Amino acid sequence: MIAQLSAKITAECPECAGALALNGNTLKGEIVTCSDCGAELEITGINPLTLDLAPQEEEDWGE
């Protein structure tokens, strides 16, 4: 049996400055939620790890 270890990485929420603990399998463009303030954040860079507020989805009103 092979055990796979995921490294934990931390980042700071750009909205509330709270600490986020993410696993090492995060991908650029992935959306994560801050456990402190609930903000939806997009991973914009991996090395170094950078976060930004996720873009809001707009209504298309059936178009």
Give me the residue spans of the domains in the chain: 8-53
> Global pTM?
0.74
If one compares 60 and 14, the residue with the highest pLDDT of the two is: 14
The residue ranking higher by pLDDT, 63 or 34, is 34
Q: How high is the pLDDT of residue 7?
A: 73
- 9-17: long-range contacts, CB 8 A cutoff, minimum separation 24: 9/49, 11/49, 11/50, 11/51, 12/51, 13/37, 13/39, 13/41, 13/51, 14/41, 14/51, 14/52, 14/53, 15/39, 15/41, 15/53
- Enter the CATH code of domain 8-53: 2.20.28.160
Check pLDDT > 50 for residue 3: no
Which pLDDT tens digit goes with each residue over 10-50? 889 999 999 998 887 889 999 999 999 999 999 999 888 89
